[in-house]
Structure 1
Amino acid sequence: MRALSGHGAVELILVRHGESLGNVAASKAGLSGAEVIEVPARDADVDLSPLGYEQATALGSSFSRLPPSQCPDVVLCSPYARARRTAEMVVGAAGWKVSLLVDERLRDRELGVLDMLTARGVELRLPDEARRRRWLGKFYYRPPGGESWTDVALRLRSFLSDLEQISGRERVLVVGHDAVILLFRYLLEGLSEQELLDIAGTNTILNASVTRYIRAEGHGPWTLQSFNIADHLLEQGVTLTEHGSDADVRP
């Protein structure tokens, strides 16, 4: 992201990637009671499912109806394939002539030794980690080799600091992951751990959903305009999908 003097962004549009092949595999593993999620690639390389491509295209089509004054000036995305593909499909379907930039700080939370394990798999194969996770809760629990939510929040703080430096009162669209969007809420709204976990425990960030923040002057606090909206999919006859992470978020 370029760092220039002047007012910061006036609008921040947060998009979760479309349904991924990993989402599908995780849901299948959970329903079958499996211990291991049979993902088709390493996490960074997992692509969208066919439905995920439809969702990303539908989102881009809905954005194509925005007047030029409301279109984003820059699109940033996680380097993970499911987010990059979503960003590319959105930009193409919307017909935008904008920069598409990859920022590794927007990547999904790294799960370390828990990677590819279902909740049941963690309980059976790593019982000590399961107990530690229950004790600490999702906000502070860091699996060996992985990240806690607070770790992700630290890199997002760096991202938001850069966002304050862009010039021209720009509108910025970010394509990322469910945990990233929830942690943006934590940072932008100044939430407590409990407030964040209450939101996470009662909401699943929908695939290809939109969360929007605004601030008319380009500086100061952000105002949440809308959260987790996916009406654009229903309007175009595209299936909604809810693929959340572990709902047991509290210590």
Structure 2
Amino acid sequence: MTTGGNASGGRRFVVEADGGSRGNPGPAGYGAVVRDGDTGELLAEAAEFLGRVTNNVAEYRGLIAGLRAAAAIDPTAAVEVRMDSKLVVEQMSGRWQVKHPDMKPLAAEARTLFPAGRVQYRWIPRKENKHADRLANEAMDAGQAGRAWEPKAPRTVAVEASEPTAEALAEPKPLPVGWAAPADMGKPTTFVLLRHGETALTPQKRFSGSGGDDPALSEHGRRQARLAAAAFATRGTIEAIVSSPLRRCRETAQASADALGLEVRIEEALRETDFGSFEGLTFAEVKERQPEALDAWLASPKTAPPGGESFVAVSRRVAAARDRLLARYAGRTVLVVSHVTPIKTLVRLALGAPTEALYRMELSAAAVSAVQFYADGNASLRLFNDTSHLR
């Protein structure tokens, strides 16, 4: 990339990335940095402990994280990638073939994040890659100590004056790294649980399940979906996306799919409860019009609203969906986009809590939670109702 900037007149970014493995293969991690190509301003940092992988895999994971972070800031930018890995630079530049089976899908994924004509690769000596190298080592140190890497400095993004409507998206805060697995427990399957963004019914607190209308996201809900997507892209650990079939979830999931270069797979059993005759009404309206039905519903999770579905029935189908997803995505990190009841159900199942626990949890629109499932049958709640990416 020359100093003349993006031929289209857009922004220019520099991505610095590094990966390391203590043992090769051994405990590994990556670090990545995004800078403004003209001012050198630090725009984003990313790092993650990867468990036991090779150095080359860690290098590619660092590259992917850096490109995702850049794409989250401005997907139309031109990017210069600087790495001290000759292998990655030559392979991604097309001068060397990617032969190793572990590297082929990673190289292919990296190529999906920006059009080939807008990314150039440059090898740099290790001494010029100190920032990304430091982040990679911090991630490995944290992972081996059973902790998640935490950024030491806030991420900042410059705002383009020509895009005032994107102000809310200009500074997407990275999600907490609280779903990273302890280093000594093996590789879990991680469900990152995202409740859909707001619809017109959400702020009115109306029952909106799978038995009534199928509302779209409101403008505010679409903004929430984009902010969540930007945060996921910055973190760079989502490997698959699964969604409820309802429109508000599909739209929320698609925002993340677009940011991450992934497809959305529909899981019917992740739909919201059918609230029957309560659909479209507020709690106060149900209390006024159907007081006996409401009292019975609140008294027992086995009781369904008239014409609807009980929480016990929802729990059965959500548990079955959980088992299918665990079999399909074993050892991977999956974004699960769903609704209040299915997400609360996945959380309570992980905790071994009774169905009545559903009444004691609050879940905000576009909030993120995370649950990890281990091969020995244990599960761990790593994050619940986090909305920091929306602020």
Normalised to the residue count of structure 2, the TM-score between the two structures is 0.48
SS at match of 1:48: coil
CA distance in 1, matches of 2:303, 2:249: 25
Cross-structure match for 2:245: 79
Aligned pairs for 1:35-74 within 5 A: 43-67=212-236, 71-74=237-240
Structure ID, larger Rg: 2
Amino acid of the structure 2 residue aligned with 1:74 = A
Cross-structure match for 1:169: 331
Amino acid of the structure 1 residue aligned with 2:224 = Q
SS at match of 2:202: helix
| Native 8 Å contact 2:194 2:337 kept in 1 | yes
Residues 120 and 168 (structure 1), Cα distance of their counterparts in 2 relative to 1, 3 Å cut: closer
SS at match of 1:220: coil
Amino acid of the structure 2 residue aligned with 1:12 = F
CA distance in 1, matches of 2:279, 2:351: 30
**When you count helix as a share of all residues, which structure comes out higher?**
1
Instruction: Using the TM superposition, give the Cα deviation of residue 115 of structure 1 relative to its aligned residue in structure 2, in angstroms.
Output: 1.4
CA distance in 2, matches of 1:59, 1:129: 37
Instruction: Using the TM superposition, give the Cα deviation of residue 196 of structure 1 relative to its aligned residue in structure 2, in angstroms.
Output: 4.1
The runs of at least 4 consecutive aligned structure 1 residues that moved more than 6 Å come to none
Instruction: Using the TM superposition, give the Cα deviation of residue 141 of structure 1 relative to its aligned residue in structure 2, in angstroms.
Output: 2.4
The gaps in structure 1 that reach 5 residues or longer are 1-6, 30-36, 235-251
Instruction: Using the TM superposition, give the Cα deviation of residue 80 of structure 1 relative to its aligned residue in structure 2, in angstroms.
Output: 0.7
Percent identical pairs in the alignment equals: 26
Cross-structure match for 2:371: 213
Instruction: Using the TM superposition, give the Cα deviation of residue 119 of structure 1 relative to its aligned residue in structure 2, in angstroms.
Output: 2.3
Q: Does 1:226 align with 2:383?
A: yes
Q: Could you list the per-position Cα deviations for residues 166-218 of structure 1 after superposition, in whole angstroms to 9, with x for gaps in the alignment? A: 25521111001111111111212110244443x32xxx211111101224x54
CA distance in 2, matches of 1:142, 1:57: 35
CA distance in 2, matches of 1:20, 1:86: 11
Q: How many positions carry a matched residue from both structures? A: 204
Residues 16 and 167 (structure 1), Cα distance of their counterparts in 2 relative to 1, 3 Å cut: closer
CA distance in 1, matches of 2:193, 2:310: 21
Amino acid of the structure 2 residue aligned with 1:22 = L
Cross-structure match for 1:88: 254
SS at match of 2:241: strand
Query: What's the C-alpha RMSD, in Å, of the aligned pairs?
Result: 2.4
CA distance in 2, matches of 1:109, 1:74: 24
2:192 to 5, 8, 13: 13
Normalised to the residue count of structure 1, the TM-score between the two structures is 0.73
